[in-house]
Amino acid sequence: MKMSSTITYVRNYLARFLLIVGLLAALASWYFVSPQVDAVANTMNLWNMNIYNFTLFVGLITIVIRYSDGIRKRVKNWPYMAYGLVLIVGWIIMGEYLGLYSDFYQSAYLSTKITLHIAILGQLVFFLVSASYRVVRIRTLRTAVFGLSMMAMVVLNAPWLLGVFPAADKISYWLLNNPSMAGGRALLLTGGIGGVILGIRLLLGLERGALKSTER
C-alpha cells in the first residue's frame, strides 16, 4: 500500500515537472536570447506536435469503441453507427489505395465532407432568425439595449436602406469600428489577464480540474 502511494506520488510529480518545464521553456525562449533555452523549447514543441498527431488515433479508437459498443448493445441510432464504422474503414482503405490527390478521392471528399460543411454553414442564418424571434423582445432595459443595437446594425446594412440613405454605410462602419470594437477589445484585454493567471494557477498546481488529467 505504502509502496503504491509512493509510486503515485512520483508519477504525479513527474507529470507536473513535464508540465512546468514545457510551460517555462516556451516562455523563456520567447523572452530571452539563449540557444540552450531555445533548444529545450524546440524539443518540447516537437514532442507536443507528435503527441498531438497521435491523439488522432486516440480519437479513432474511442469512436470505434463507442460505435461497436453501441452496435452490440443495440442502442438508439445503432444502425447509423454501423454505417459510420463501415464508412470510416472503407474511406481509409480508399485513401490509402487511391492516394489523397486522386481525382476520385478529391471528388468524393468534395461531395461529402465539404458539401456538408457548406450546407451546415448555410443553415446558421435560419437558426439565428428563429432565435431573434424569441430573444429580441423588449422586456427589460437590458434586452432593449441588446435588441435595438442588433436591429440597428441589421437595418443599416440593408441594401433597401442604402438605396435611399447612402450615409447608412458610414454609420454602420462607425458603430462597428468604435463602440463594438472597444467592447471586443475589453474582452480580449481582460481575458488575456485571466488566461495568464490561469497559467499561473497551473504552475502553482491550483487549476484542479484541468490538472486532474495529469494525475492518477
Partner 1 sequence: MISTDPFIWISAFFTICSFTLLYGDNPLFRIGEYTFAGTVVAHGFVTGIQTLYGNYIPLFQGQDPMAAISLILAVMSLFIVWKKYAWIASFPIAVMIGVGTGVSVRALVSTDIIGNITATISEAGLILVGNPADGLGYAVRVIFTIVCTSYLLFTVLHRGPGSRTMSYLRTIGKYFFLVYLGLSVGNGVMQLSGLATSAINRLLVSWLGLG
Partner 2 sequence: MLSVMFSMVSEIIQPGKSAQLLFLLLIGILGYTAYYLGTKGRTWEIRSLEGLEAMFEGVGRSAEMGRPILVLPGISDMGSPQTLAGITILGELTQQGAEIGVTTYSSNADSGVLTASEAVVRSAYAAVGKPELYSPGKYVRWFGNDQFAYAVGAAGQILADNPAVVVYLGYFLFDVIVDGETGNSIGAVQVGGTLGSMDFMSVFCDYILIGEELFAASAAISKDKNTIATIAGQDWVKLIVLGILIVGTLVSLAGSDAIVRLLEM
Partner 3 sequence: MRIPELKRQYIWGIVLIVYLTAVLVPIGAPFPMSDITVEIYNVIGSLKPGQIVVVGGAWDFAFDLESSAAMIPALRQLADRHARIVFAPFAVESVQYQKYVMQASGIAEEQGGTYKYGVDWVQFGYIPGLPAAMVGFLNDVHSAVPADVYGTPDDKIPLMNDFHSWKDIALWICPHWSFDVVVRYATAEHGIPAIYFAQAAAYSGYSPFMMAYPDKVWMTNGFLGGAQYEQLMNTTGLGHAAINAYYILSAVLVVIVILGNVDMISKREKKEEKK
Contacts with partner 2 by CB under 8 A lie at 27, 30-34, 51-52, 55-56, 58-59, 61-63, 65-66, 69, 76-77, 113, 116-117, 120-121, 123-124, 127-128, 130-132, 134-135, 146, 186-191, 193-202, 204, 206-210, 212-216
**What is the rounded CA–CA span in Å between residue 108 and residue 119?**
16
Q: Which of 76, 160, 209, 213 binds partner 3 (CB under 8 A)?
A: 160
**End-to-end alpha carbon distance in the chain:** 15
CA distances (Å), 96 to each of 85, 90, 106, 121, 196, in order?
A: 17, 10, 13, 30, 43
Residue 12 or 180 with smaller CB distance to partner 3? 180
* Amino acid found at 191: G
The Cβ of residue 161 has, within 10 Å, a number of other Cβ atoms equal to 17
Please report, as ranges, the residues that interact with partner 3 according to CB under 8 A: 100-101, 106, 109-110, 114, 117-118, 121, 125-126, 129-130, 132-134, 136-139, 147, 151, 154-155, 157-160, 162-163, 166, 169, 176, 181
